[in-house]
């Protein structure tokens, strides 16, 4: 019997500068370059967006570099979480998580309707 791969959940936070829409595209490109998959994107306002993702633990360092190259700055706790998860994970392990991005130059008056959960 082959053991199932472990899944790790990461909650990452970052800051992006520049146009909100251009920065969002840079984030999408960074995930693609690192062989990571965006599974959902939730736009809360012109200054805050949350990206849900999946990535092989072995690709976490590449994701961190791709985000840095795209001028998406992980906070210290997030950078440490990426580093420690990558160093202790097996190559077959998978990580899931969220990346909460604050757009410093975003429009705070731009709002998005957040749909209520039924029930």
pTM of the model: 0.85
Q: Chain-wide mean pLDDT for the chain?
A: 89
Where do the domains of the chain lie?
A: 7-103
- Residue range 10-18: mean pLDDT, rounded: 96
Percent of the chain with pLDDT over 70: 87
Give the pLDDT score at 2.
39
If you compute the radius of gyration of the chain from its CA atoms, what whole number of angstroms results?
A: 15
What is the tens place of the pLDDT at every residue in 35-86? Answer: 999 999 998 888 999 999 999 999 999 999 999 999 999 999 999 999 999 9
Give 11's contacts (C-beta < 8 A, 6+ positions apart). 78, 81, 97, 98, 100
**In this model, does residue 1 exceed pLDDT 60?**
no
């Amino acid at each position: 019997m082959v053991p199932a791969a472990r899944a790790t959940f990461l909650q990452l936070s970052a800051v992006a500068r520049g146009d909100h829409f251009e920065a969002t595209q840079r984030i999408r490109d960074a995930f693609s370059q690192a062989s990571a998959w965006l599974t959902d994107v939730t736009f809360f306002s012109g200054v805050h967006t949350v990206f849900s993702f999946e990535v092989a633990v072995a690709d976490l360092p590449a994701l961190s570099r791709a985000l840095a190259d795209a001028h998406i700055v992980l906070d210290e706790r997030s950078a440490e979480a990426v580093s420690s998860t990558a160093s202790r994970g097996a190559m077959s392990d998978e990580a899931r998580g969220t990346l909460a991005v604050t757009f410093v130059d975003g429009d705070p008056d731009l709002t998005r309707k957040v749909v209520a959960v039924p029930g």
